[in-house]
Amino acid sequence: MSLLSRFYYFVSLLSVVSCSVTVYTNLNPFLTGTANPAFQTAICIGAVPCDGNVLNPIPNPSLNGGQFAIQLYSGGMTGMSIPVSGSFLGFSIELSVSNAVLGNNGNTLNPIFLNLMANMQARAGKTLVRVGGNSQESATVVPSGLPNNTAIEKPQVGTDRTFTPVLLISPNLIYAMGNISTLVNVEWFIGLPFNDTSNPRTTLAEIAQSVLGKNLIGMQLGNEPDLYTTNQLRNSSYTVQDYTVEWGQVLQDYQQDSKVPNTDIFVAPSICCGLSGNGWMPEQVWDTGFLTQYGNNLAYIAVEHYPTNNCNDTGPLDPEQQMPQFFLNHSAVIELSQPYANTSQIAAQMNKPFIMFETNTASCGGFSGLSDSFVSALWTIDYALNMASFNFSNALLHVGGQSDYYNPFTPPTTNQTSYRQWSIGPTYYAALVVAEALGPTGDAQVLDLGLNNRNDLTPGYVIYEQGNPTRVVLINSLTDPSGASNYTALISVGGNNTGQPGATPATVTVKYLLAPSATDKWNITWGGQTFGGPFASDGRLTGDLQTYTVTCDQTNNVCPITVPAPAVAVVFLTPESFANSQGSATVTFETTIATAVHNKHGYRQSDGPRKVKRPRRTIFPRIRINESR
């Protein structure tokens, strides 16, 4: 069923059956806008919307004229990746804050989240979302539900960063996930606890399998076991061999649970930190026989990794220094992917997808000014396409709580949801760009072009589908309002002594991701459209879509594409590749606040039914460390 027909099906169902799903909002139209005293006096809560810190962009090295040739060949190119889809980049939502994002039960879904997922679906066909993280280790399901209509309760609150609280989960969280998938095409991973092998707590898997059915595509058993000693979930003598033995024991617990019929969709080993020197490399796990013993039970082979961290309270790293070293640096991005090349080959030989299950700019919340600025979008696009070029099948961007800078999207605190919308971070724009660059066919093969003599500030990629180059992604990480650091990519397809006739198209379509500077926070546009500033988004792009048609020189086989500093340009080499990536779904989910705003501008009312409810009362305690890595 198409999204549109599914939506109308849902609408018509609603008119006859009163107990079906209602996409509701608790935004009260009479409380919105600057005239509202609550709005005017409300304090700003949240790292992304409230932190005003803007870093200085890096100085501009000369691009020496800035014309770089790209020669593409019909039929494919050496070293192209395995085929991937526009759903390559998905999201990982920390379990302990997931109800604030998804909703507290199947009847109170968050329309803004639905819109954000619908945007992905329109471009990529579907989105992968994992609900889990460090907090999954302490999760226990309360089958009878939780008081005050909340899906998640944290009875203990700690301040110590390594302290893991007990996390109580209501089945309603899974019902919310299930109902989300009836409206938008989201496929789910659920994180299962592995903190206690003598008390495996299989109930979460039981409920997830029964409620989510085929929309449950993976169950992650254990999160970052290579940090278990550090995080005090195991003692100091815990080894990778112990892990493999224990994993088999807990697998058996699941296999003996008749309410968990499918034990072939596990995700493991989700190790993170061999590259950082404080954890295990995948080969150490493979050498214990892990894949030989459990390969048949795995739907995905998973690792997790963040390039750097902000975990050190006593001496935080300097984001201004991190920026050129790790983020505006293509060599550093390759160094993140290269160590996994052996494992991506092993996974391909086993016919298993290989997933970067959790990543983002920096663990422990990211960095102010870096994780929440355009830098993070430039990095995410480079890193995602780089992982694809190294034969990862998917990667999930982590979403944490209010104190995390790296969130692709952040809802307001629960007590402000009646008059504030969501803050959309730069990495969500990156997810849209990657989805469009890869498109929905599942045939996208990615190759790093080594553009501009492998310059670290100007990476470029080509995407092939069925043997033909269909899209080119060009990144310019410099900041130079004068225009002197713009570069021009000269794209040629075939011809030029390649032994092939010229296949350069007559025209190409270009869409730009733009910001005034690499460290800008809120003036990001994708194809001229935006999600606006802090607390400003209902999850839908606003503004008119702006694309550029570039006329190519077919006599000389050259399409000149200008890439401003900073920007990411996606060049659609064929009309089909553009049409596929723009999608066709038009269904969106209106919030009351959005309706009010739209009415003011004379836009039409919502398509769907709405039910305005009172603001939810539950307050989520802000536990910095436990919300995220």
Ligand X SMILES: *[C@@H]1O[C@H](CO)[C@@H](O)[C@H](O)[C@H]1NC(C)=O
By CB under 6 A, tell whether 558 contacts ligand X. yes
Q: Which residue is nearest to ligand X (CB)?
A: 106
Q: Do the beta carbons of residue 519 and residue 374 sit within 8 Å? A: yes
By CB under 6 A, tell whether 179 contacts ligand X. yes
By CB under 6 A, tell whether 107 contacts ligand X. yes
Q: CA 564, CA 422: separation in Å to the nearest integer?
A: 29
By CB under 6 A, tell whether 71 contacts ligand X. yes
H or E stretch covering 92: strand 89-94
Q: Which of 53, 149, 182, 525 binds ligand X (CB under 6 A)?
A: 182
Interface stretch with ligand X, choices 270-278, 328-336, 425-433, 605-613 (CB under 6 A) = 328-336
- Angle at the Cα of 286 from the Cα atoms of 254 and 364, rounded to 5 degrees: 75
> In whole angstroms, how close is the CB of 391 to ligand X at the nearest point?
4
Site string (505-544) toward ligand X, x via CB under 6 A: -----------x---x--x---------------------
Q: Which of 57, 178, 279, 411 binds ligand X (CB under 6 A)?
A: 178
By CB under 6 A, tell whether 564 contacts ligand X. yes
> In whole angstroms, how close is the CB of 538 to ligand X at the nearest point?
17
If we measure between CA atoms, which residue out of 394, 392, 361 comes closest to residue 376? Answer: 361
By CB under 6 A, tell whether 349 contacts ligand X. no
By CB under 6 A, tell whether 247 contacts ligand X. no
> In whole angstroms, how close is the CB of 123 to ligand X at the nearest point?
23
By CB under 6 A, tell whether 68 contacts ligand X. no
> In whole angstroms, how close is the CB of 341 to ligand X at the nearest point?
4
By CB under 6 A, tell whether 605 contacts ligand X. no
How, if at all, do strands 308-309 and 362-363 pair? parallel
Site string (187-206) toward ligand X, x via CB under 6 A: --------xx----------
Interface stretch with ligand X, choices 378-386, 463-471, 535-543, 558-566 (CB under 6 A) = 558-566
Residues 6+ apart with CB under 8 A from 421: 27, 112, 412, 535, 536, 537, 538, 591, 593, 594
If we measure between CA atoms, which residue out of 50, 89, 137 comes closest to residue 398? Answer: 89
Measured from the CB atom, the residue of 123 and 610 that comes closer to ligand X is: 610
Strands (E), 349-503: 354-359, 362-363, 394-399, 409-410, 423-424, 445-448, 460-465, 468-476, 487-493
By CB under 6 A, tell whether 255 contacts ligand X. no
Q: Which of 286, 429, 578, 589 binds ligand X (CB under 6 A)?
A: 286
Residues 6+ apart with CB under 8 A from 156: 165, 166
Q: CA 19, CA 239: separation in Å to the nearest integer?
A: 51
Residues 6+ apart with CB under 8 A from 202: 192, 253, 254, 257, 259, 260
Q: Residue 137 gets which letter from DSSP?
A: G
Interface stretch with ligand X, choices 265-273, 297-305, 370-378, 490-498 (CB under 6 A) = 490-498
Q: Which of 37, 483, 499, 602 binds ligand X (CB under 6 A)?
A: 483
Measured from the CB atom, the residue of 23 and 267 that comes closer to ligand X is: 23
Which whole-number Å values give the CA distances from 111 to 24, 108, 170, 394, 479, in the listed order?
A: 7, 9, 21, 26, 36
Residues 6+ apart with CB under 8 A from 109: 21, 23, 24, 102, 103, 176, 179, 180, 183
Residues 6+ apart with CB under 8 A from 555: none
Would you tell me which residues interact with ligand X (CB under 6 A)? 21, 45, 69, 71, 79, 81-82, 105-107, 138, 140, 147-148, 166, 172, 175, 178-179, 182, 195-196, 211, 233, 235-237, 283, 286-287, 312, 314-315, 324-325, 329, 331-332, 335, 341-342, 348, 390-391, 413, 415, 456, 483, 486, 490, 492, 496, 516, 520, 523, 556-558, 562, 564, 617, 619-620, 622
